[in-house]
């Protein structure tokens, strides 16, 4: 890699940026980073890196997120899709701390737009923004 970095959090952030195509990284640098993460014991895949709603292909989540973001009405299936999406985000093991545990415990209570809004506000305070 072009620059040594011993901070695993920065390493994961670097990988997330590459995976999401936010900036280009040479293939050999990406492979070296993946080897380093594996050596340090990081599991790469859905278990540690939550999926991003814009990459979802079933056609179920996008209308729910767009309805939420636009302030439009949210049907029960929108709320259920958002709840499932937020569950896979908050259960990723890379997120830790007392506030995170509270967010995890509160996922099943996301039964309305207002509940989702409150949950998002708390998540952002913890440094998590799934949207």
Q: Tens of pLDDT along 56-115?
A: 778 888 999 999 999 988 999 999 999 999 998 888 777 777 888 999 999 999 999 999
- Are 60 and 108 in a shared domain? yes
Residue-level pLDDT at 60: 86
Q: From its phi and psi, is residue 105 left (phi > 0), alpha (psi between -120 and 50) or beta?
A: alpha
Range of the structural domain that residue 68 is part of: 53-125
Q: In this structure, are 35 and 73 located in the same domain?
A: no
Pair (78, 112) in one structural domain: yes
Residue 32 is predicted with a pLDDT of 64
User: 72 and 110: one domain?
Assistant: yes
Say yes or no: 82 and 36 in one domain. no
* DSSP, res 108: G
Residue 131 maps to a domain: no
69 and 18 in one domain?
no
pLDDT value for 91:
84
Q: Which residues contact 122 (CB under 8 A, 6 or more apart)?
A: 99, 102, 103
Query: What's residue 30's pLDDT?
Result: 60
Residues 88 and 36 in one domain: no
Over residues 22-52, the pLDDT tens digits come to 445 555 666 666 666 555 555 544 445 567 7
Tell me, yes or no, whether 67 and 112 share the same domain: yes
Q: How many separate domains does the chain show? A: 2
My answer on whether 57 and 120 are in the same domain is yes
Task: Answer yes or no: do 34 and 93 share one domain.
Answer: no
Q: Residue ranges of the alpha helices (H) in the chain?
A: 8-19, 27-39, 61-70, 76-90, 98-106, 113-125
103 is a domain residue: yes
pLDDT at 12: 61
CA distances from 80 to 16, 43, 64, 109 (A): 26, 28, 9, 11
Between 39 and 118, whose confidence is greater?
118
Between 107 and 9, the higher pLDDT residue: 107
């Amino acid at each position: 890699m072009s620059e040594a970095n011993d901070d695993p959090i920065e390493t994961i952030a670097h990988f997330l940026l590459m995976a999401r195509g936010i900036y280009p990284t040479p293939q050999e640098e990406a492979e070296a980073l993946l080897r380093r993460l594996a050596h340090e014991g990081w599991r790469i895949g859905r278990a540690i890196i939550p999926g991003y709603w814009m990459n979802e292909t079933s056609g179920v989540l996008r209308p729910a997120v767009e309805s939420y973001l636009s302030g439009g009405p949210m049907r029960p299936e929108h709320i259920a899709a958002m709840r499932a999406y937020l569950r896979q985000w908050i259960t990723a093991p890379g997120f830790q701390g007392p506030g995170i545990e509270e967010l995890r415990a509160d996922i099943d209570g996301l039964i309305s737009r207002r509940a989702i809004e409150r949950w998002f506000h708390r998540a952002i305070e913890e440094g998590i923004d799934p949207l």
